[in-house]
C-alpha cells in the first residue's frame, strides 16, 4: 500500500513524461511521417484515459478531504477543480482529432501548459498543507481509495458532469462502464 501522495505523484510523473514527449516529439508541421503521427495520437489517447481516471478519483476522494481538513480547503479545492474542468474540455476536444490537423497541436499545447500548472499547484500548494493534517494511516487509506477508484473510473473526460462527489458516486460507475464498453468496441486504449 502506498500513501495518497505517492499514488498521485506516480500519476504526475507519468503525465509529465508524456507531456515532455509530446513537447519534444515531431509534429506534422515539423515533418513527422504518418507512423510518428500515429504514435503521437496513441500517446494522447493514453493521456486522455489516464488523466480522466486520475481527475475522477481526485474529485471523488482527494478534494473532499482537502475541503474537510484544511482551513482554506474550499478555496484550494475549488481552484484545483476549476483547473481540472478546463483540462477536461481540452481533452474531450482532443478525442478523435488526428495529429496532422492543426487543432491537434493547439489542444496539445494548451494541455501541456495547463497540465504543468495544475501539477505544480497540487504538489507545491495543496499537498504540503494536506500532508500536515493526515496521519500516516489516513494517507494510506486515502491512497488505497484512489488506487481502487482508478480501476473503476471513467476513461473519458466528461466535462459536463458536475465535479461533485455525490454525483460522481451515483453517475461514475455507469459512466465508467459505458466508457469501457465503448473502448472495447473501438479498440481505444489498446497498445
* Any domain includes 79: yes
Is residue 129 within 8 A of residue 70, CB to CB? The reply is: yes
Q: Is residue 13 part of a domain?
A: yes
- The answer to whether the CB of 67 falls within 8 A of the CB of 73 is yes
Question: How many domains in the chain?
Answer: 1
Reading the chain (191 residues) residue by residue, the pLDDT tens digits are: 689 999 999 999 999 999 999 999 899 999 999 999 999 999 999 999 999 999 999 999 999 999 999 999 999 999 999 999 999 999 999 999 999 999 999 999 999 999 999 999 999 999 999 999 999 999 999 999 999 999 888 887 876 666 655 555 545 455 554 444 454 445 546 55
**Quick check: is 150 in a domain?**
yes
**Cα–Cα distance for residue pair 121/75, rounded to 1 Å:** 13
pTM of the entire structure?
0.83
Residue with C-alpha cell 453517475?
171
Residue 139, Cβ density class (10 Å: 0-12 exposed, 13-18 middle, ≥19 buried): buried
- The span from the CA of 21 to the CA of 155, in Å, is 21
Q: Which domain holds residue 135?
A: 4-186
End-to-end CA distance of the chain: 27
Sorted by sequence, the CB contacts under 8 Å of residue 68 that are 6+ apart come out as none
For residue 191, being part of any structural domain is answered with no
Amino acid at each position: 500500500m502506498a500513501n495518497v501522495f505517492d499514488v498521485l505523484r506516480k500519476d504526475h510523473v507519468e503525465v509529465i513524461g508524456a507531456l515532455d514527449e509530446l513537447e519534444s516529439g515531431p509534429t506534422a508541421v515539423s515533418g513527422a511521417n504518418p507512423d510518428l503521427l500515429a504514435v503521437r495520437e496513441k500517446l494522447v489517447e493514453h493521456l486522455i484515459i489516464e488523466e480522466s481516471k486520475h481527475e475522477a478519483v481526485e474529485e471523488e476522494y482527494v478534494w473532499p478531504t482537502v475541503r474537510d481538513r484544511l482551513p482554506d480547503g474550499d478555496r484550494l479545492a475549488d481552484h484545483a477543480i476549476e483547473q481540472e474542468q478546463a483540462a477536461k474540455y481540452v481533452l474531450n476536444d482532443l478525442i478523435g482529432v488526428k495529429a496532422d490537423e492543426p487543432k491537434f497541436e493547439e489542444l496539445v499545447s494548451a494541455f501541456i501548459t495547463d497540465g504543468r500548472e495544475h501539477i505544480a499547484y497540487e504538489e507545491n500548494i495543496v499537498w504540503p498543507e494536506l500532508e500536515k493534517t493526515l496521519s500516516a494511516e489516513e494517507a494510506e487509506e486515502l491512497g488505497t481509495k484512489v488506487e481502487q477508484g482508478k480501476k473503476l473510473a471513467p476513461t473519458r473526460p466528461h466535462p459536463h458532469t458536475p465535479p461533485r462527489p455525490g454525483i460522481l458516486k451515483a453517475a461514475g460507475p455507469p459512466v465508467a462502464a459505458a466508457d469501457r464498453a465503448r473502448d472495447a468496441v473501438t479498440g481505444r486504449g489498446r497498445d
